[in-house]
Structure 1
Amino acid sequence: MPTDSVVHQLAIRVSNRLRDERLMLVTAESCTGGMVATAITDISGSSGWFERGFVTYSNPAKSEMIGVPPDLIDKHGAVSEPVARAMAEGALRNSRAQVSLAITGVAGPGGGTKTKPVGMVSFGWSNRLHTSVETKIFKGDREQIRVQAAAHALRGVLALLDEQEH
């Protein structure tokens, strides 16, 4: 499946910034299933700025691959800012990258609850010194939610890189 053009354009912008600043990115994706990693690696030369990607779709994968504490998932649920923070920080600890992004959410069409509806996605971004988290609720079908989440995650990397400059 081709990557959405907005995601592709954002991936190019992120890639240019990472290359210019000589930084590497690591991704930890759940509901997007590697969509951000795909968008980045669709760009020629991406090995210069993309270190690795984790697709931690199951809760055990989040714990086993990037060190998210199981009790954190039990307490807050996989779709939560504490888990997104742990994913972003764990991805950095388990890579050689300097910048990370994490995505965990409910893409639908099932799986939503009253408190965590379909379209709810939690994000984390980290640069080893600072981690920020955010939760958004996107509208649309499964594919639209996943594309919006991937685009938002890439915008967050750009914002993190902007913060580093100041």
Structure 2
Amino acid sequence: MREFASDPPEEERVGDALRDAGHTVAVAESCTGGLIGSLLTDVPGSSDYFDRSLVTYSYDAKRHELAVSRESLDEYGAVSEPVAREMAAAVRDVADATWGVATTGIAGPDGGLPGKPVGTVFVGIAFAAPWGSEESYTRVERFEYDGSRTQVKEQIARGALEMLREEIGSVSANADD
């Protein structure tokens, strides 16, 4: 599971960034099926910053575990920007973590839809700023990856970690200003 790993691996870089910032992270995973949580916990000392990973693969799991709205699921489908946004914010809030990360997509080899081919994923990153600062936010990006199901899942997981690391860096840089 290191075909797409950087050197050092993204999970180590994210761990260092979280530890340096004094932040914590929780993850809600659909198409990655727990892979992000697995990568994060491969790093010794991850208990300093990693809270949990919820695998919410089905519509019901998204609704019951994360309170994703039935309206978002019905109107946009599970593989959508609104659902990724709700998942990221919900896991952040449920865990009382600084960061929430969510993935929802189509890993393949089947399941592609018009406008959402196999390899399509939405990654959500939610940040909890200090109370009263009005600086909390949720950002969602759409990506498309190629490869086998396993390759797509690894690319999604590593891409989500890279996106998280970039967001941590951005927040940390703004805090230093």
Q: Same fold (TM over 0.5)?
A: yes
Q: Give the secondary-structure state (helix, strand or coil) at the position aligned to 1:124.
A: strand
Contact kept, 8 Å, 1:110 with 1:118, in 2: the verdict is yes
Q: Report the equivalent of 1:6.
A: 5
1:131 pairs with 2:133 = no
Q: Report the equivalent of 2:154.
A: 147
Contact kept, 8 Å, 2:4 with 2:154, in 1: the verdict is no
Structure 1 residue 96, shift from structure 2 partner: 2.1
One-letter code aligned to 1:22: G
Partners of 1:127 and 1:33 in 2: how far apart?
Answer: 22
Structure 1 residue 156, shift from structure 2 partner: 0.8
CA RMSD in angstroms, aligned pairs only: 1.4
Structure 1 residue 144, shift from structure 2 partner: 1.0
User: Where do 5+ consecutive residues of structure 2 fail to align?
Assistant: 129-135
Partners of 1:68 and 1:43 in 2: how far apart?
Answer: 30
Contact kept, 8 Å, 1:139 with 1:145, in 2: the verdict is yes
Deviations 1:110-157 (A, max 9, x none): 111122110000110011201110111111111111111001100111
Q: Report the equivalent of 2:131.
A: none
Q: TM-score, normalised by structure 2?
A: 0.89
Aligned length: 165
Q: TM-score, normalised by structure 1?
A: 0.95
Q: Max radius of gyration: which structure? A: 2
Q: Report the equivalent of 2:55.
A: 55
User: Where do 5+ consecutive residues of structure 1 fail to align?
Assistant: none
Q: Which aligned runs of 4 or more in structure 1 are off by greater than 2 angstroms?
A: 2-5
Structure 1 residue 3, shift from structure 2 partner: 5.2
One-letter code aligned to 1:23: H
Q: Report the equivalent of 2:30.
A: 30
Deviations 1:66-108 (A, max 9, x none): 1111111111000001100000001012112111111000001
Partners of 1:113 and 1:73 in 2: how far apart?
Answer: 15
One-letter code aligned to 2:5: V
